[in-house]
Amino acid sequence: MKQKSDFSVIGRALATVAGFDRVYQKLEQQVVLRGQAKSTFENYIHRIAQVSLHFNCLPEEVVEEELNDYLAALALSAKSPSRSAFKHSVYGLRYYYRYVGLPTRAVKLPSLKKDAKLPDILNKAELRKLFVAPALLKHRILLMLIYSAGLRSSELINLKIADIDFERKAIHIRRSKYNKDRIVPLSVYMAVGLKKYLALEQPLTWLFNGKQLGSPYSSKAVSWVMSEAVKATDISKHVTVHSLRHSYATHLIEDGLNIVTVKDLLGHSKIETTMVYLHIAQCPIVQAHSPLDTLYPQQR
């Protein structure tokens, strides 16, 4: 769901930039035809609108040097230390230039180096503190469910009551990133908490209702719940909602689950994405040995 600022940026581009309305419609159509997630379109069109408003014309009309100056300013901006604005602008422009038949301009855009920084995770003692911090049961269940199933924030807010299968102990995550469905195990402990929450709150359709009747919870609200819960503890790490997903993956590997299964549970498209958790997980060190020694019982 777009925030008010998104409506403002896109609305102004639609009203003031010649041709942007046509671009909006065509890009939305392309995303639908390719079966891509709606969030992909929203991210791209928001960044394209920002560029169009800045130059008061469509991106293909912007001089290459001027565009590079604009992107450099984004990359160096103190307001975006994670460089997320820069990164998403480059992704959006690449998509746009390929769409309008200018692949050479897409190639000339700055390359994006992968961040080598390892994600922060919460240890199990910190998680126990976090899950008892919120005063509302709804907020406690919300945070626990993200960790227990390794959910992205967007996956959590799109869960419906019908997606929780208590009998089969499974959670059906629908049309997530890469437009894929997947099934993840429902924790027995989590099932008890969810049943208590459902009986108390009696949500309609969506597992977590938003403020407006019939609407799902917002990602902004999920971030607020996490932030307030962390503040109520002595946790000093810089963690976000996504840190719960990182913690889920790391703890599964530490519990002995193989990396391929963890990849499938997370819904990653490439095993390389999952392998970062091997650098975080604290697994028992196995002494170097020959497999022949484990093939036969030790002779005494």
Q: Which residues are catalytic?
A: 152, 177, 242, 245, 268, 277
**Number of other residues whose CB lies within 10 A of the CB of residue 59:** 20
Interstrand relation of 182-185 and 170-173 (parallel, antiparallel or unpaired): antiparallel
Taking CB atoms within 8 Å and a gap of at least 24, the contacts of 267-275 are 267/173, 267/176, 267/177, 267/178, 267/180, 267/182, 269/178, 274/249
Distance CA(210)–CA(207), nearest Å, equals 10
Residues with Cβ < 8 Å from 147, sequence gap 6 or more? Answer: 127, 131, 244, 245, 247, 248
CA proximity to 171, closest of 187, 189, 186: 186
Sequence letter at residue 173: I
**Contact by Cβ (8 Å): 59, 106:** no
Distance CA(164)–CA(119), nearest Å, equals 29
In the DSSP assignment, the letter for residue 234 is -
